Structure 1
């Protein structure tokens, strides 16, 4: 559906209709908008141009249109910069926190190519933020300031609106596995998780404490630090790992605490947050390879937000 008013709106609608007819904006509804509240004073080295969305821009290569505006709406002037920054958000799509996550992110990283920028509506930002921010916070990542929803236009302006409704899908009868307990079964995926982690430790778990929607894993005294990161040796003496926003979600790995575990985590605000946990299986070739070569793996300059089983 297209909505706008006034001469500028009529011209813009014509351009939008043309883009839709060409397949550049298929699958999306646009509401009429002109970016009056965009900060002034930004000067680019070159005029905005239309370029193909490259196949290796994993976040947006299948978003539903083929051409994007560059510089994009996050002020990335080169394709290399846009791809590098966008790669950090690919893992969030695997978490499936909201059906419009890709639409929202790609409207900024790879905006549809028209004569003027078309921003996401504030309501689109809000539904994605409300669904995905708790997942990010579980890993110690706050919702970034660059995606502050107050920056985006209201729904009566010309902007990209919510596509799949404001309500989340009906939850399944069986609670979804805790995000920290999803397992990546390939060495490459495990090493990507290790890139995102401050520390990697092989350890036994003494007990699990559940309180206020959070779980705390108390490590046994004997452990082997495989990656120390920013931790001090004293941090490894009495390790307590926090699982944020776990509520009542199941974590199959913690059903049986016998044996050792491979745990990956980050240090945030003085606390150790659990990012991923695996039963230690020394004969598992994928795990063995990942542990052996994790320091030689080419981690991206901008660490991914989170990686999980959905990335297979």
Structure 2
């Protein structure tokens, strides 16, 4: 973010900062009231953005730096695609909002512009535009919201310039299929999923809707049932996405269990929004044990 953007915001709100002195708590510290703190060096996404202090909790309701860092790392490769010239400005306005006496959100039109340019890139790598960035969360254009700084150019075509190495890196990050996800991410997907099931896969097939994964209904454990009916549970067929360009290469027909999360469409198709190999790592075991105890309203 350029320093002149910050100066504009400061001028709008008479440069009234939060807090007094901006001392930083430990990375594990939780902020329940608006506080002005230094942007940690660990937050790689939002370094060199024209200001050094941020508001906590941030505009995504993250109350600890660990939450901010974990979530922000996911977006680093997208910024590298230059899908939109101001994608970093948009993300940092939410992850590390400028420290003023009131929250300053991106304008709705700014969000819609970034989404229009970057959502197709994300879709290529099985990463949907998340609910936490829904554009109707943000205000209509006014003098107290952040607008795009580089005009209304559509940058989607820039994705063609991404190298093969860059695409592989994006696939590693922007896929819903994981083998080593942190507990915080697993619990976030758990809360956002309509159903959560542990299964064994009997068949993997190609279809016009993408890869199709057929599970053994007798070897399953339900953690969240959602709107699944008996017929759904007796015929467990998942799709990695509704597009043929996506698949989940970690899942194969085997004797291994997988954790599968997803949603049910109006046409009764089960869409897989997250899948993880069933492992015995500390993070994975902690997450699965927290399923029944997690208050999703507080995540």
Both structures adopt the same fold (TM-score exceeding 0.5): yes
Could you tell me which of 214, 221, 225 is aligned with 2:217?
Answer: 221
**Superposition pairs of residues 1-312 of structure 1, within 5 angstroms:** 16=4, 19=7, 49-51=16-18, 52=36, 62=47, 64=49, 65-67=51-53, 80=57, 82-84=59-61, 91=71, 94-95=74-75, 96-99=77-80, 100-107=86-93, 112=98, 125-132=112-119, 135=122, 139=128, 144-146=134-136, 151=140, 159-161=148-150, 166=155, 167-168=158-159, 170-173=161-164, 176=168, 177=171, 179-212=175-208, 214-234=210-230, 235-244=232-241, 247-248=244-245, 251-254=248-251, 256-270=252-266, 271-281=269-279, 283-297=280-294, 299-301=296-298
- Conserved? CA contact 2:199–2:216, under 8 Å: yes
* Rg (Cα) greater in structure: 1
CA shift, 1:220, in A, is 1.9
Could you state the TM-score of these two structures normalised by the residue count of structure 1?
A: 0.57
**Stretch deviating more after TM superposition (285-294 or 216-225):** 285-294
CA shift, 1:258, in A, is 0.9
Cα distance change of structure 1 residues 267 and 213 upon mapping to structure 2, 3 Å threshold: closer
Using CA pairs under 8 Å that are at least 6 residues apart, name the structure with larger relative contact order, 1 or 2: 1
Could you state the TM-score of these two structures normalised by the residue count of structure 2?
A: 0.59
Alpha-carbon separation, structure 2, partners of 1:242 and 1:88: 30
Cα RMSD between the aligned structures? 5.0
Q: What secondary structure sits across from 1:179 in the alignment?
A: coil
How many residue pairs get aligned? The number is: 252
Cα distance change of structure 1 residues 299 and 60 upon mapping to structure 2, 3 Å threshold: farther
Structure 2: runs of 5 or more not aligned: 19-35, 81-85
CA shift, 1:104, in A, is 0.8
